[in-house]
Amino acid sequence: MVRVADRGPETTIPEVALRHALAVSAPRLVLTILYHPNLKRVGQRGELGKFKLGQVAELSRHSPLFTDPHVSANEAPLADRHISRQPIVFTRDRAGVAVSLPARGSSLHVDGQAVIGSHHLSRADLSRGVVLLLARRLVLLLKLAPVETGAEASRDSSFIGASSALDILRSEIGAVAATDAAVMLRGESGTGKELAAQAIHSSSARREQPLVAVNMAAIPAELAAAELFGVRKGAFTGADADKPGYFQQAAGGTLFLDEIGACPEPVQPLLLRALESGEVQRAGGRIETVDVRVVSATDASVEEQGFSAALLHRLAVVTLRVPPLRDRVEDVGLLFFHFLRELDCNAPAPLHQPQMDPVIHGQWAALVVDLARYRWPGNVRELRNFCQQIVLSTRAHGSLRVPQIIMDALHQDSVVAFAQRSEAYRVAAELPADEVIRVMEQADYEPARAARLLDVSRTALYKRLQGIEELRLANDVPAQEVREVYRQSEGQVQQAAATHRVSRPALLRRWRALELAPRAR
């Protein structure tokens, strides 16, 4: 949700715009198509109606009507001949919703369990979202969800999905994009914070100007000020030309500072001055004024890391929370087939054949059920990685083939998985050193990948690494050692990274800082 910092007259978000962005209707029972033999139907929504006591609604081949969430025309029922005309009846009672199946109707599975005769769904079930498998070939999500009512959404179309959570985020983005307020994006790793920053920029009056994205965690601490604010020729040894910083490069546009919690402490006052006055100073140069809108992002609690409170208030005039994938299960089907098409346009080709064997439809439907019930600790990024593995495996076998490692993850006990991978991050400081070492090796010493595997934030993992003697970052390797290993490896970065036990990208950045060039094999 949008949250405006308590800054009195400095707040740049008009209250009326904020109320407009948060306008939602009372919750309704909504069905979203996660899988349909006609892939064009995936993502369409149909309402069972308002959540009123005693209300009765039906689900069958002919009702309710489904449509694209943002298009009012072309409403249509499920219209699949394998779905019975005899309706499944939903009745609202005081505890939730009672589900009644006709004697000779379509089979129904609820969250993977077959239903015979009747079933009851609690309000908690409906708030979370219930996965329905109908006739073993259609997958629907039944959810009690708010419906966004008319707030102007972002013009950006980067986000794939039709969930209520995403609709609300789009409306929030549309509201803040009309201002120049500094925005902080909060959300777990892999949720799409950079996409949200791009949407804010492309929906704003600055859309024709540059959008410069910077990962603060990837900048060596000693170079952060020069990278952000620039360097004047002759400022120090090696500064043989003027170099604009990221602020100058983003002049007139938007500067996106990802992993803001990794901003070095000495740089924070400089960043605060830039936000307060628009003034920056290159190393060795004069103070200059730049017109930049700053959007920042973090997947951690910067308040607990000793981050400057004054800077935090300036960065978070508005806070937007990017929802995790488990809170937008309605989007899993759309994202899944989008990534399959993006990664290999031939992967879902059989789904476009109208006379496909029903068994094959059943295989795809069963897979989507598993995807919808998974907790997605790595969020959208993890789903895309799954799709990449499925595409490679399917391409090798010529038919749908899901790698066993993915099936093992999808079929683990969902309750246990949720307990182990709760919405809160694990406490990095309490992780055993041997576990961190093992995971870092598995991740090729790339902290970002290791953090996802450990379910901790990247910034918190960096701090944990400082207490483990066996591990270090490329920036912590003495320059003399870097040069010596560079000479021994003959400039082969993969060999050198293995020797140092650091990530290849980070070592490459260190080499560039030391004016060492990698050599081709």
Mean pLDDT of 268-287: 89
- The residue ranges of DSSP E strands in 111-240, in sequence order, are 113-114, 118-122, 130-134, 138-145, 183-186, 211-215
For residue 5, name the pLDDT band (cuts at 50, 70, 90). very low
Q: Is the predicted pLDDT of residue 352 greater than 50, yes or no?
A: no
Given its phi and psi angles, is residue 15 left (phi above 0), alpha (psi -120 to 50 degrees) or beta? alpha
Mean pLDDT of 150-176: 79
Could you report the per-residue pLDDT of 444-483, keeping only the tens digit for each? 888 877 877 777 777 778 878 888 888 888 888 898 999 9
What pLDDT was estimated at residue 419?
37
DSSP string, 202-227: HTSTTTTS-EEEEEGGGS-GGGHHHH
Q: Which residue has the tokens 């546009």?
A: 253
Query: What is the percentage of the chain residues whose pLDDT exceeds 90?
Result: 44
Mean pLDDT of 208-236: 87
Residue 358 CB partners (closer than 8 Å, separation 6+):
82, 137
Q: Is the predicted pLDDT of residue 351 greater than 70, yes or no?
A: no
How many angstroms separate the CA atoms of 312 and 195, rounded? 22
Higher pLDDT, 521 or 458: 458
Mean pLDDT of 130-143: 96
Pick the CATH number of 28-145 from 2.40.128.120, 1.10.150.120, 2.60.200.20, 3.30.70.980: 2.60.200.20
What pLDDT was estimated at residue 16?
36
Please give the model's pTM, rounded to 2 decimal places.
Answer: 0.74
Q: Is the predicted pLDDT of residue 23 greater than 60, yes or no?
A: no
How many angstroms separate the CA atoms of 156 and 106, rounded? 40
What pLDDT was estimated at residue 137?
93
Please report, for residues 2, 166, 270, the alpha-carbon distance to residue 170 in angstroms, rounded to integers and kept in the order given. Answer: 11, 6, 32
Domain locations along the chain = 28-145, 164-321, 325-420, 472-521
Classify 89 as helix, strand or coil: strand
Q: Is the predicted pLDDT of residue 421 greater than 60, yes or no?
A: no
Q: Is the predicted pLDDT of residue 174 greater than 80, yes or no?
A: yes
Q: Is the predicted pLDDT of residue 357 greater than 90, yes or no?
A: no
Out of 126-140, 152-166, 281-295, least confident range: 152-166
What pLDDT was estimated at residue 348?
55
For residue 324, name the pLDDT band (cuts at 50, 70, 90). very high
Closest CA to 254 of 305, 203, 220: 203
Q: Do domains 28-145 and 164-321 have the same CATH topology?
A: no
CATH superfamily of 164-321: P-loop containing nucleotide triphosphate hydrolases (3.40.50.300)
Mean pLDDT of 421-445: 72
